[in-house]
Amino acid sequence: MINISEGLVVMKKCFHCRKVSTCFVFHHDPPLEPCREQSHFWNYAESDESFHFDLMCSKCGKVVMLDELVGLMKCTGCNERCRVCAFMQSLKPEEVQVYIAMGRRPVEERRQLSKEQFSALEAYFNQQSERLNRKARIVRHEMVKDLDRCYAEVIRDADMLFATSYKVN
């Protein structure tokens, strides 16, 4: 992990179309002022502390920028009808931690993680899980049944991410 920066995952809602927007801001002051973007009228809804990072291959030095990644969330298994929850339960949850890679919303209007970016993210976590007692799996946020009602825990910093990956005996 390189270019680690603290900030906020911000959710806004359009009062016109009722869509939700998510983004990452590189500061700790939520954008409370309404704003207009194309046909949307965004109003601040909520925010949560998180962090942003990019990845660099330790072998070849290639950098993968993760600008489309808003944040990582740890699945808590809150909804049995959610595909992420079902996936987690199929993996022996006591041995595997499932993280959701939250991208920008509205999904149909914003760039999402490319296959290359997602592959690099998964490879990074698989590499890290080799040295940990607990494996980690990353899934795309599109697998979440209803992201607005998801109780997944937003990962606030890199230390929290790796602290939650250790198996508790």
Domain assignment present for 169: no
Phi then psi dihedrals of residue 138, to 5 deg: -110, 135
Residues 6+ away with beta carbon under 8 Å from 91: 98, 137
Q: Give the pLDDT mean for 111-119.
A: 93
Give the number of residues written for the chain: 169
Provide the pLDDT for residue 164.
47
Amino acid at 58: S
pLDDT at residue 167 greater than cutoff 60? no
Provide the pLDDT for residue 22.
92
Q: Give the bridge partners for 140, in sequence order.
A: 101
Domain assignment present for 58: yes
The total domain count for the chain is 1
Residue of higher predicted confidence among 143 and 146: 143
By residue range, what is the domain housing residue 111? 2-163
Residues 6+ away with beta carbon under 8 Å from 166: 132, 133, 134
Written as six digits, the tokens of 162 are 């790796």
pTM of the model: 0.84
Q: Give the bridge partners for 78, in sequence order.
A: none
Phi then psi dihedrals of residue 108, to 5 deg: -70, -10
| pLDDT band of 131, cuts 50, 70, 90 | low
